[in-house]
Amino acid sequence: MAKTFIENIAQKLRIIPDLDREHASGNQQPLRKFPSADEWHNFTELDANAWPLRLERNYSLVPTTCFNCESACGLLAYVDKDNGEVAKFEGNPHHPGSRGRNCAKGPATINQIQDTERIMHPLRRTGKRGEGGWEQISWEEALDEIAAKIRSSLKRGGVDKVVYHVGRPGHEGYANRVLKAWGVDGHNSHTNICSAGARTGYSLWQKHDRPSPDHTNAKVILLTSSHLETGHYFNPHAQRILEGMMEGAKLIVIDPRLSNTAAMADHWLPTWPGGETALFLAWAKMIIERGLYDREFMETQVNWDAWMRAVHPNEPCEFERFIELLGEEYAEYTPEFAAAECRIPVEQVIEVGEVVANAGTQLCTHVWRSAAIGNLGGWQVSRSLHFLNVLTGSVGTVGGTSPNSWSKFKPSLFDVPPDPDGWNELHFPPEYTLSHYEMSHILPHLVKDGRGTMDVYFTRVFNPVWTYPDGFSWIEMLENEEAVGCHIALTPTWNETAFFADYVLPMGHASERHDVNSYATSSGKWVAFRQPVLREYARREGREVEFTHEVNPGQVWEEDEFWIELSWRIDDGTMGIREHFMSPYREGEKITVDEYYQYLFERVPGLPEAAEKEGTNALGYMRQHGAFLIEEATYEKHKSEGWPTPSGKQEFYSETMIEFGYPEHSIPHYRQKSHVHPENLSGEDEYCLLPNFRLPQHIHSRSANAKWLVEIAHRNPIWIHPKDARKLGVAEGDLLKIETEIGWFVDKVWVTEGIKPGVVGCSHHIGRWRRKQDRGNRFLTNTVVIEDQGNGKMRMKTVSGVEPWKSDDPDTNRIWWRDGGVHQNITHAVQPDPISGAHCWLQKVRLSRPGPGEDYGDIEVDREKSFEYYKRWNEWAKNRETHPRGERRPLWMKRPLAPRKEHFYMPGFGPDSTGPDVVSQTDEGE
């Protein structure tokens, strides 16, 4: 097409690119995507911001990994050699998981490190805890004071009084090793508000508790999602889903909400939350009836014979008979039944069922948070979903779904301290016999119930006051100095939990810290290196650095070096802690962080050899490339490794469930209806609130300081279907009062057909707040006042929304948005699933117009009601508490930071020498 007169002039003035270049012949230059690695310390490019001036900038490109979700995609930091500062982040093409690409949150790391309100120095509180007074202290003071508190606690003999509670993990066994060196059963995680439900379902089948879908090679991609692929493994999965679709794969998305992914799907099934299990079992029935199961896989890899012997002892133990009886067992799951449970058309159940049933070994399934964490009995969702993979023989295949542990590198560490000598009942209370991870979301209630206290409590990149349900109970616990002797918040940015700390210690963002990462983002196995980029830049420039805080902004540090220094100071020479922090290379001397990673990378299969080819060592290779592909593909490992379950097979039939008091769940079934099942709602007046999805631009609670991300997304209105809006008489922008079991919040309405009628949605990650005396995150925080109204009633009122302010960054004064959303989670009651222990996120709610004095953003919660409500759910677990042979939990299932085997038994019981070994789970919870 011919250029216009205006385009001609604009092109000559270089206001727009050369439109002729694309069509030029002869001297045409291909577009360059990335500089080659040997140019990375001396790369020159034009400054895009200086356009139309042709201003050259010279960079050192240093790889690291993104810290903004679990995936740990590769980043390349562009360090400007003129000023020694990071100018921008792009993708690292050498990273096998992300392959040079990122989502919006990756490049926005630059916002986080340039945040004018970030915490630059260690802080100690002044005044009462939670009042908001702080003074700057040195790292020396912080280390000495905290070390003294831990030493005192350890010397009193408690093994459960010093606790490390992790929000964003990602350093593969580092903290567990430290806790073991201190001798404490002190690991807590965020997993039971996240993935514990899905993990339980997968674990019952194969012990491996996470799925690794091979989207690229799939014929059918089946996602059960209200969160997945727009928040979790977002970029690595999204790019592979697209690759699969470009090769003809069909995409099926099950979600009551029209997510971005659902909008791209061939089939969107807006199921009623919790009905997914019925749907998957109906599809299982279709596969069985039509003979589309993979006989070879079923017959050789599944413990079908155990079920035959136990349940049908008078039948011949033959596979053909098993299949006939299986058909009878699942006869109740008709398409009509599934359609009724899911409230979708029966034709859709059958049509999509045909697609799934005919996928064969290329059925690629995935569920992470979503329905598995939303519902009472949500763990059944992953169990029944995996059943489809088992039936079609698509477990561990090309285009199928593999156990994640096949694709995850487990590091060998330089020293392994002994397992802790005790059991922490605040983390694993005896009634939650099958909880897959720590019961972290009921911690404040367990403390209130008199089950224990903590001397020293670290929150590590963790913000439960805001992220968890029932945040006012967290505030109550944190303000109680009898319950929590000392609270230390390790965080890169201010958050609502840090407001209630004694020490706030600034930790690095992605480019300011060391971690090692390995995740099952594809069918291969890789390891990546998160490194402090200015430290590596200094090394390239020939400068010595002892501690990372010497090169980071202000006195921002990193956990790795912090733990070494802290551990060293805890030990007064009598405690045997220092011996676990000695250099493996220099006898009798303290280990350095470089030595830690040198030791680890020297033991990555194939890495030393690859490094040698480049004339460097393993650490040098990782500093240069940032990642290494260990295995191209990890299919069919069961053929060499088997299945690590009690039967050595995929467990269709679980004796564990019977032994631990849940015989109705011995095989996959739909025996537990969700707490938000229509039968459990009071007719049309109650709705199901879907609160556990997030928008792709945000992180749970660390993106409020990322101005680019906040400008794109800063509100969390209530999604409501037009039919429901009509019924309630509300229109777009009107206010609604949403009443939960323990309180209410007021939000604005967004009328959309992208949500199922009867369900309302509210996205997580927005609705951040601070009080007048608090600091940080002003791009996305409302200023609030919190009033204690007595009798446990707490009220939060928004005083003002987001406002511009003057700072060194002119953009802070250009903020045009005022609405910072609403903090919904704080009004949610805790709902611990009695089996998986997972918090069941979905809430039963009533909707009405707000009354006088109830304004946008207002919140009220009754803490007494919340405690009573917790007790009701807790009773369900207590009523079924069963400990076969005195076992606290199944010995063969994973447990993070496993203590010595004898502590896996209730008092009065002990290990049986014939029982399996207990296995510590080294991959931290997500």
Contact 574, 154 (CB under 8 A): no
Q: What is the contact mask toward ligand SF4 in residues 94 to 113, using x (rule: CB under 6 A)?
A: ----x---xx-xx-------
Q: What is the contact mask toward ligand SF4 in residues 188 to 227, using x (rule: CB under 6 A)?
A: ----------------------------------------
CB closer to ligand SF4, 210 vs 756:
210
Least Å from the CB of residue 895 to ligand SF4: 27
Residues found in the chain: 926
Interatomic CA distance for residues 169 and 118, integer angstroms? 20
Least Å from the CB of residue 357 to ligand SF4: 32
CB closer to ligand SF4, 509 vs 748:
509
CB closer to ligand SF4, 558 vs 858:
558
Interatomic CA distance for residues 471 and 463, integer angstroms? 10
Q: Pull the structure tokens for residue 787.
A: 């009033």
C-alpha dihedral over 632, 637, 641, 647, to 10 degrees?
Answer: 150
Q: Pull the structure tokens for residue 110.
A: 């630059």
Give the single-character DSSP code of 116.
T
Q: Pull the structure tokens for residue 772.
A: 């007048």
- Beta strand 525-530 with 781-790 is unpaired
C-alpha to C-alpha distances, 445 to 343, 792, 861, nearest whole angstrom: 36, 14, 15
CB closer to ligand SF4, 91 vs 429:
91
CB closer to ligand SF4, 173 vs 236:
236
Least Å from the CB of residue 716 to ligand SF4: 19
Residues 319 to 358: which contact ligand SF4 by CB under 6 A?
A: none
CB closer to ligand SF4, 98 vs 348:
98
CB closer to ligand SF4, 102 vs 435:
102
Least Å from the CB of residue 233 to ligand SF4: 7
Cα atoms found within 13 Å of the Cα of residue 551, Cβ hemisphere only: 24
Least Å from the CB of residue 215 to ligand SF4: 14
Residues 533 to 552: which contact ligand SF4 by CB under 6 A?
A: none
By CB under 6 A, tell whether 530 contacts ligand SF4. Answer: no
Q: Sign of the CA dihedral 105, 823, 500, 426?
A: negative
Interatomic CA distance for residues 470 and 741, integer angstroms? 11
Interatomic CA distance for residues 125 and 505, integer angstroms? 11
CB closer to ligand SF4, 72 vs 570:
72
Least Å from the CB of residue 103 to ligand SF4: 3
CB closer to ligand SF4, 91 vs 837:
91
Interatomic CA distance for residues 607 and 604, integer angstroms? 6
Least Å from the CB of residue 74 to ligand SF4: 8
Residues 228 to 287: which contact ligand SF4 by CB under 6 A?
A: 234-235
Least Å from the CB of residue 228 to ligand SF4: 12
What residue has token string 């806790």? 179
Interatomic CA distance for residues 76 and 107, integer angstroms? 9
CB closer to ligand SF4, 106 vs 832:
106
Contact 444, 470 (CB under 8 A): yes
Least Å from the CB of residue 551 to ligand SF4: 23
Q: Sign of the CA dihedral 119, 122, 126, 130?
A: positive
Residues 60 to 79: which contact ligand SF4 by CB under 6 A?
A: 66, 68-69, 71-73
Q: Count of CB atoms within 10 A of residue 272's CB?
A: 23
CB closer to ligand SF4, 763 vs 874:
763
Least Å from the CB of residue 668 to ligand SF4: 31
Least Å from the CB of residue 914 to ligand SF4: 44
Q: For helices 276-289 and 379-392, what crossing angle results, to 10°?
A: 20
Interatomic CA distance for residues 63 and 620, integer angstroms? 12
Contact 549, 508 (CB under 8 A): no
CB closer to ligand SF4, 103 vs 439:
103
- Which parts of 211-318 fold into alpha helices (H)? 234-246, 260-263, 276-289, 295-301, 304-311
Interface with ligand SF4 (CB under 6 A), residue total 13
Least Å from the CB of residue 102 to ligand SF4: 4
Determine the 3-state secondary structure of 677 from DSSP: coil
Binding site for ligand SF4 (CB under 6 A): 66, 68-69, 71-73, 98, 102-103, 105-106, 234-235
